[in-house]
Chain A
Amino acid sequence: MSVLESMRGFMRRDQVFDFLVPVVPPDLDLTHGVILYLENLNVSFDGFKAINDLNLYIDDGELRCIIGPNGAGKTTMMDIITGKTRPDSGSAWFGQEINLLAMDEPEIAAAGIGRKFQKPTVFEHHRVIDNLELAMAGDKRVWPTLGARLNSEERDRLAEVLQIIGLGDQAKHLAGSLSHGQKQWLEIGMLLMQNPRLLLVDEPAAGMTHQEMDRTAELLTSLAGDHSVVVVEHDMDFVRSIAGKVTVLHQGSVLAEGTMDEIQNNQQVIEVYLGE
């Protein structure tokens, strides 16, 4: 009898086998208005504590600047969020439901976190437009990629992003021929093509002229709102120009948080930055 029943279960046509059901990651849940939770994170490399009991919350649509002296753990923090480094302990959640520590880099990228590296990393042997095309959100499995063609909607999106990053005239140039600042923008453009909810931007103003810096500040400010943007930066003028909330990291944990003015008058921060 039980054999018959299991046979019936086997033959049911309104269901598929469990292994055929695709694993659908939970949707980004922002009911509490917080997009990123980092709690009690600890990472050490060979005994050196790069991240030490770090707690950080990023609100949806916020533009947050993170500053700190060298070795404060800024890049390590980004590595944890994007899945490159696994913390020794602690938790990292994207919205209410998505556990970042259980995912690897491509999954995190697909969930909606984009990252710009400290050193601009674009595909130098490809044209600017190809760089953006490769980064575009969509089916990123092997076979669909083999047959992928741009449709008109995607072309519009490409043109739009080219416009935003101001590289419309260079669209057909090789990315390797761009200036340092333009490469930074292209990388930000690649982030935008991914349609991320959270952008992690590591030193976007490094090596830029003042004009370029102003345009970058403008670009990042305009992105906040629709996206949450986390900017790691050394240049204080740049940080002041994009305002927003500032977090100071020191020795792997948060030292102070507040507006730029508050931070600049904070006694601890002054000590860390200026010595004893």
Chain B
Amino acid sequence: MIILRYLKKDTGGMITLSLLALITVIVPICNLLVPETSGLHVSTFTMTLLGKYLCYGLLAIAVDLVWGYLGILSLGHGAFFALGGYAMGMYLMRQIGSRGVYGNPLLPDFMVFLNWQHLPWFWHGFQWFWFAMLMVILVPGLLAAIFGWFAFRSRVTGVYLSIMTQALTYALLLAFYRNEMGFGGNNGLTDFKDILGFSLQTDATRAGLFIASALALGFGYLSCLYITRSRLGKLCTAIRDQEDRVRFIGYRVENIKLWIFTFSAILAGIAGALYVPQVGIINPNEFSPLASIEMVVWVAVGGRATLYGAVAGALLVNYAKSYLTVAMPDAWLFALGSLFVLVTLLLPRGITGLLRKKEASR
């Protein structure tokens, strides 16, 4: 297999994927089989937190693919993440059925509360898991394809494109805040009961979601590795560095950008769909521009244009966030800001850039 050959040359990726495989096996075992009194027991809270980080890792890979490799600084990837999340959330809402507070078999609670009589048309079909999964891929993919078709064809690049992606996610944020949109307004979708018939409250389901997140991250990693090492991947970095040159060699730059951007949006959507059942809520805050900027910081910290760097960055920054928001709740935003400034100034190639420098000097 060609992917294995690529992987052999990607030491950081080998390490990342080995660690990933290791925790995929060990964490659920330590949670489910090791008794709680044992020191090796991993609490469900920790496992769910780790699962959340893995989703962020997949999201970081998606951002890295378009920013690190293709040179498109997307400040709106949160939109694709959140749309994937909402698609999953709608499925989970429909699964609640008559167990909601108002006990309406068809309408989710917030619709009953708003005195709605009928299920809006776009909520139909979400009672089926396969349909929801299709939407997880289609909705972010289509949005990215339409947005990209207009943006790349008219050759919008650089900071202008970044601002447009930012505007995209902000517009969605405002739209999803509105109750009339039919997505639960500012409360979003929550109070989920079960997925595919398994209760979300049980440890086994949580372990299953954790494993699914790990597998998705592994799949995302390998598929991005395949893309970036192919001739198309080389072309992406070429577009990042000398877009005009690529055009004069005879490639349709806008098509390449469109495909990669769409694929990246789909990965982000999948990450969102796995994120929602683990955190138990999806609300419009996921669309906020700040969230999208945070994703860019993960990649910058980890080191862009290395896939394992993006994963490492996502895990590190989010661990720091989890720690700091508990230890010093007011300090987090300052820490995030200074982290971005410091990394940009001192470590332009991120943390993994340090390792690679060592590798090069050896």
Chain A residues packing against B (C-beta within 8 Å)? 82, 84, 105-106, 109-110, 114-115, 117, 121-126, 130, 133-135, 137, 140-142, 145-148, 190, 194
Contact of A123 among B230, B231, B241, B253 (CB under 8 A): B241
- Of B17-25, B92-100, B232-240, B323-331, the one touching chain A: B232-240
The answer to whether B235 and A134 touch across the interface, beta carbons within 8 angstroms, is yes
By a CB distance below 8 angstroms, the chain B residues around A124 are 241
By a CB distance below 8 angstroms, the chain A residues around B238 are 123, 126, 134
Taken together as a complex, chains A and B put the C-alpha atoms of A273 and B198 apart, in Å, by 85
By a CB distance below 8 angstroms, the chain B residues around A105 are 247-248
- Would you give the shortest CB distance from A86 to chain B, in whole angstroms? 14
- Would you give the shortest CB distance from B226 to chain A, in whole angstroms? 8
The answer to whether B230 and A147 touch across the interface, beta carbons within 8 angstroms, is yes
Closest 5 A/B residue pairs (Cβ): A109-B250, A146-B232, A148-B231, A123-B238, A105-B247
Taken together as a complex, chains A and B put the C-alpha atoms of A110 and B259 apart, in Å, by 21
Taken together as a complex, chains A and B put the C-alpha atoms of A123 and B249 apart, in Å, by 12
Cβ of B255 under 8 Å from chain A? yes
Taken together as a complex, chains A and B put the C-alpha atoms of A44 and B153 apart, in Å, by 25
By a CB distance below 8 angstroms, the chain A residues around B237 are 123, 125-126
- Would you give the shortest CB distance from A117 to chain B, in whole angstroms? 7
- Extra pairs beyond A106-B250, A109-B247 (10, CB < 8 Å): A82-B248, A117-B245, A123-B237, A123-B242, A125-B241, A126-B237, A126-B238, A130-B234, A140-B250, A148-B230
Chain B, interface residues (CB within 8 Å), range:
20 to 34
By a CB distance below 8 angstroms, the chain B residues around A123 are 234, 237-238, 241-242, 245
By a CB distance below 8 angstroms, the chain B residues around A109 are 247-250
Cβ of B293 under 8 Å from chain A? no
Contact of A146 among B230, B241, B251 (CB under 8 A): B230
- Would you give the shortest CB distance from B32 to chain A, in whole angstroms? 40
Most chain A C-beta atoms within 10 Å of own C-beta, residue among B227, B250, B252, B255: B250
By a CB distance below 8 angstroms, the chain B residues around A110 are 250
By a CB distance below 8 angstroms, the chain B residues around A121 are 242, 244-245
- Would you give the shortest CB distance from B258 to chain A, in whole angstroms? 8
Cβ of B143 under 8 Å from chain A? no
Cβ of B256 under 8 Å from chain A? yes
Taken together as a complex, chains A and B put the C-alpha atoms of A30 and B253 apart, in Å, by 30
Most chain B C-beta atoms within 10 Å of own C-beta, residue among A141, A145, A190: A145
By a CB distance below 8 angstroms, the chain A residues around B241 are 123-125
By a CB distance below 8 angstroms, the chain B residues around A133 are 231, 234
Contact of B249 among A84, A134, A141, A148 (CB under 8 A): A134
In the assembled complex, 10 residue pairs joining A and B whose CB atoms fall closer than 8 Å, in A order, are: A106-B250, A109-B247, A109-B248, A122-B242, A123-B241, A134-B234, A137-B250, A140-B250, A142-B255, A148-B230
A121-B244, A125-B237, A142-B255 known; A134+B250 contact, CB < 8 A: no
The answer to whether B245 and A122 touch across the interface, beta carbons within 8 angstroms, is yes
- Would you give the shortest CB distance from B196 to chain A, in whole angstroms? 33
By a CB distance below 8 angstroms, the chain A residues around B234 are 123, 126, 130, 133-134
Taken together as a complex, chains A and B put the C-alpha atoms of A122 and B259 apart, in Å, by 24
- Would you give the shortest CB distance from B61 to chain A, in whole angstroms? 17
- Would you give the shortest CB distance from A49 to chain B, in whole angstroms? 25
- Would you give the shortest CB distance from B353 to chain A, in whole angstroms? 14
The answer to whether A140 and B252 touch across the interface, beta carbons within 8 angstroms, is yes
- Would you give the shortest CB distance from A181 to chain B, in whole angstroms? 18
A123-B238, A126-B237 known; A146+B248 contact, CB < 8 A: no
By a CB distance below 8 angstroms, the chain B residues around A145 are 230-232, 235, 251, 256
Chain A residue with Cβ nearest B231 = A148
Taken together as a complex, chains A and B put the C-alpha atoms of A109 and B256 apart, in Å, by 17
By a CB distance below 8 angstroms, the chain B residues around A147 are 230
- Would you give the shortest CB distance from B241 to chain A, in whole angstroms? 6
The answer to whether A135 and B230 touch across the interface, beta carbons within 8 angstroms, is no
Q: Which of B44-94 contact A (CB under 8 A)?
A: none
By a CB distance below 8 angstroms, the chain B residues around A140 are 249-252
Chain A residue with Cβ nearest B240 = A125
By a CB distance below 8 angstroms, the chain B residues around A194 are 249-250
Most chain B C-beta atoms within 10 Å of own C-beta, residue among A84, A105, A122, A124: A105
